[in-house]
Amino acid sequence: MRSRLALPLVAVVLTLPAALLTAGQASAAPADKPQVLSSWTQTSATSYNAWVAARANQGAWSAYAFDWSTDYCSSSPDNPFGFPFQTACARHDFGYRNYKQAGTFSANKSRLDSALYEDLKRVCNNYSGATKASCDATAWTYYHAVDIFGFSSAVDGTKSVA
């Protein structure tokens, strides 16, 4: 009886470290995750475009365990007056959710809100005249709302961070 139990027990003991090592490696995000997150949440068009490209190919970034979820512009319209603000709001959500997850939200909130404003103004640059002025005013209103209320779950769809 001892020999019948010994062989399966040896097999389990020998495979357990490999299974645990693989599971541990799979759950650990790459060391450059903070740098990648930072590069995708800057105010520049280059940063915005890099994030849009990554969002379109999320599978390539799965090891980083980023939170790509979004409620877009939360309780505000995603496309107010026909202005397509939805993608800018999604990037803003990405920044909020991932910096909260990293525990560094407060240190980055101001830049995330500024990046939203720059993204919205880039949308508005596609218009001219009174339409552009209306878009710019709407962008400023959205920015001002997240600047003031950005710690609220109504703005980012997550738990409040005070």
- pTM given for the model: 0.79
Domain 31-156: which CATH class? Answer: mainly alpha
Q: What is the pLDDT of residues 132-153, one digit of tens each?
A: 999 999 999 999 999 999 886 6
Q: How far apart are CA 149 and CA 120, in angstroms?
A: 18
State the greatest distance between any 2 C-alpha atoms of the chain, in Å, as a whole number: 89
> Judging by beta carbons within 10 Å of its beta carbon (0-12, 13-18, 19+), is residue 35 exposed, middle or buried?
exposed
Q: Where are the domains of the chain?
A: 31-156
Active site residues: 92
Q: For residues 77-115, b (16+ Cβ closer than 10 Å) or e, as one string?
A: ebebeebebebbbbbbbbbbbbbbeeeebeebbeebbeb
Q: What is the pLDDT of residues 4-50, one digit of tens each?
A: 544 444 444 444 444 444 444 456 899 999 999 999 999 999 999 99
